[in-house]
Amino acid sequence: MLNVSDLHAYYGKSHILQGVSLTVGEGEIVALLGRNGVGRSTTCKAIMGEVPPSGSILFKGTEMVGRKPFEIAQAGIGYVPENRDIFPGLTTRQNLLLGLKPGQRQADSRWSLEDMFDLFSNLKERADVEASVLSGGEKQMLTICRTLMGDPSVIMIDEPTEGLAPKVVHQVAELLEQIAARGVSILLVEQKLTIAMKISKRVYVMGHGQIVFEGAPGELQDDDDVRKQWLEV
């Protein structure tokens, strides 16, 4: 579904991504782990075209490098950034409808408004309330669900559980599993190792702008050296 090869990206003269390669299969949850500042968020931004990349980003066999962010989104890659961008003066329902792509009909999408409300009942209860009054967890669910309204085949989600209560973290994890069960691939950028290890099929660990580990969650769990060197504080 998504095949990233030898990806490089810069902020000015700073060489942030130094040959990142990773793959995400259909309906697969893949975690991208690592400490702050190693390039995880930049990887998502480079795939999305928000940071100019070099290398190769194949999506369903088509090269994405050189395309504009809106073209990448229209191709079928969704992105949920860490800062939970919502439109605070619009209602929850209006925020969700803004996730539809130009010319897209809800009837043609695998996701409907009712699906969003079924996935997270709090959104249904607050459907016609301004998004500014939602809790942190509700805003996170809203940003994920709004991206799903565009019917992506792959969705990249950056730190979805950051700052959330344990109960809400569990709800987010359940939501991600339900999304994958519908065939949507997920690249999950996460610091909470327990969540990533529980729901991911494969994990990548980043360090200094490079992939330093790739394997199954169990393999990472058994590799004390990698966890101590690249993950533990």
Please state, in angstroms and rounded to a whole number, the distance separating the CA atoms of residues 55 and 122: 42
Are 186 and 175 in contact by the 8 Å Cβ rule? The answer is: no
116-171 pLDDT, tens digit each: 888 888 888 999 999 999 998 889 889 999 999 999 999 999 998 888 888 888 88
| Mean pLDDT along residues 83-94 | 91
What domains are defined for the chain?
A: 2-230 (3.40.50.300)
Helix (H, G, I), strand (E, B) or coil at 138: helix
| Region 12-34 average pLDDT | 96
Q: Are 145 and 120 in contact (CB under 8 A)?
A: yes
**Please, which pLDDT band fits residue 106 given cuts at 50, 70 and 90?**
low
Per-residue pLDDT, averaged over 52-60, amounts to 97
The pLDDT confidence band at residue 4, using thresholds 50, 70 and 90, is very high
Under the banding of pLDDT at 50, 70 and 90, the label for residue 233 is: low
Q: Is 211 exposed, middle or buried (0-12, 13-18, 19+ CB in 10 A)?
A: buried
Burial 104-121 (b: 16+ CB within 10 A, else e): eeeeebebebebbbebbe
pLDDT surpasses 80 at 232 = yes
CA 7 to chain centre: 18
Q: How far apart are CA 76 and CA 150, in angstroms?
A: 8
Query: What is the reported pLDDT for 76?
Result: 95
Check: pTM over 0.85? Answer yes or no.
yes
Q: What pLDDT score was predicted for residue 146?
A: 93
Which one, of 162, 7, 21, 215, lies nearest residue 225 by Cα?
A: 215
Does the structure show a pLDDT above 90 at 193? no
